[in-house]
Amino acid sequence: MLGLNDREAREYRVLWMGIISLAKQHDPGLYHRLMRYPDDLPDLVRLRPPSGNLRTEGIASSALALRKEGKLPETY
- Per the structure, the complete domain to which residue 31 belongs is given by 1-35
Structure pTM? 0.75
Distances (CA, A) of 76 to 1, 23, 49, 67: 27, 14, 25, 13
Please report the pLDDT score of residue 17 as a whole number: 98
Measured from the Cβ of residue 44, the count of other Cβ atoms closer than 10 Å reads: 19
Q: What is the mean pLDDT of residues 4-19?
A: 96
Name which residue leads in pLDDT, 14 or 1: 14
Please report the pLDDT score of residue 32 as a whole number: 97
Domain count, the chain: 2
Map residue 75 onto helix, strand or coil. strand
Residues 52 and 72 in one domain: yes
| CA atoms 8, 5, 21, 65: torsion sign | positive
Residues 14 and 45 in one domain: no
Residues 15 and 26 in one domain: yes
At 11, the pLDDT band (50, 70, 90 cuts) reads: very high
- Residues 23-76: tens digit of each pLDDT: 999 999 999 999 999 999 999 888 778 887 878 888 999 999 999 999 999 999
